[in-house]
Amino acid sequence: MIPHRIAVLGAGGFLGSHLVPALLERFDCSIDAVDLDFDKLQQSDSRLRKLRGRIEDPRVLAEATERAELVLSLTALCNPAQYSTIPLEVIDASFTHLLPLVKSCAERRIRLIHFSTAEVYGSRAVGADGLPTSEMSEDSACLQLGPVHKERWSYACAKQLLERVIWAYGEHHGLSFTLIRPFNTIGPRMDYLPGVDGEGTPRVLACFMNQLLRGEALQLVDGGQQKRAFMAVSDMVEAVCRVVERRRACERQIFNLGNPGNNVSIAELARQLASVYAEQQPHAPPARFEHISAEAFYGPGYDDTAERIPDVRKARRLLGWEPTESLSQMLPGIVRDYVERYRDRVAPPQQARSA
Total of chain residues touching ligand UGA, rule CB under 6 A: 19
Distance CA 203, CA 288 (A): 19
Among all residues, whose Cβ is closest to ligand UGA? 207
At position 17, the amino acid (one-letter code) is S
Binding mask 54-83 for ligand UGA (x = CB under 6 A): ------------------------x-x---
With CB under 6 A as the contact rule, the residue among 15, 102, 118, 233 that binds ligand UGA is 118
Q: Do residues 34 and 51 make contact, with C-beta atoms less than 8 angstroms apart?
A: yes
Provide the angle, in degrees to the nearest 10, between the axes of the packed helices 153-173 and 87-94: 20
| Minimum separation from the CB atom of position 132 to ligand UGA (A) | 18
| Minimum separation from the CB atom of position 196 to ligand UGA (A) | 16
Cβ-based nearer residue to ligand UGA, 8 or 233: 233
With CB under 6 A as the contact rule, the residue among 17, 73, 178, 226 that binds ligand UGA is 226
The closest alpha carbon to 105, from 47, 62, 48, 60, belongs to 62
Which range, of 13-21, 28-36, 200-208, 279-287, touches ligand UGA by CB under 6 A?
200-208
Which 298-317 residues touch ligand UGA, going by CB under 6 A? 304
Binding of ligand UGA by 182 (CB under 6 A):
yes
Cβ-based nearer residue to ligand UGA, 101 or 269: 269
Give the active site residues: 155
Cβ-based nearer residue to ligand UGA, 93 or 175: 93
Cβ-based nearer residue to ligand UGA, 64 or 120: 120
Which 261-280 residues touch ligand UGA, going by CB under 6 A? 266
Contacts (Cβ under 8 Å, ≥6 apart) of 248: none
Distance CA 154, CA 77 (A): 11
Binding of ligand UGA by 237 (CB under 6 A):
no
Which range, of 17-25, 60-68, 181-189, 311-319, touches ligand UGA by CB under 6 A?
181-189
With CB under 6 A as the contact rule, the residue among 184, 253, 259, 263 that binds ligand UGA is 184
Cβ-based nearer residue to ligand UGA, 102 or 220: 220
Provide the angle, in degrees to the nearest 10, between the axes of the packed helices 99-107 and 58-65: 40
Which range, of 55-63, 101-109, 177-185, 243-251, touches ligand UGA by CB under 6 A?
177-185
Binding of ligand UGA by 30 (CB under 6 A):
no
Which 204-223 residues touch ligand UGA, going by CB under 6 A? 204, 207, 219-221
> Is beta strand 263-265 parallel, antiparallel or unpaired with respect to 227-229?
antiparallel
With CB under 6 A as the contact rule, the residue among 35, 119, 135, 138 that binds ligand UGA is 119
The closest alpha carbon to 70, from 102, 110, 106, belongs to 110
What is the H or E stretch that residue 9 is in? Answer: strand 5-9
The DSSP-derived string for 20-82 is: HHHHHHHSS-EEEEEES--TT-----TTEEEEES-TTSHHHHHHHHSS-SEEEE------HHH
Cβ-based nearer residue to ligand UGA, 207 or 273: 207
Cβ-based nearer residue to ligand UGA, 93 or 221: 221
Contacts 24+ apart (CB under 8 A), 198-207: 200/79, 200/81, 200/82, 200/85, 201/79, 201/80, 201/81, 201/297, 201/298, 202/79, 202/81, 203/78, 203/79, 203/80, 204/228, 204/266, 204/269, 205/269, 205/273, 205/334, 206/338
- Point out which residues bind ligand UGA (CB under 6 A): 78, 80, 117-119, 182, 184-185, 203-204, 207, 219-221, 224, 226, 228, 266, 304
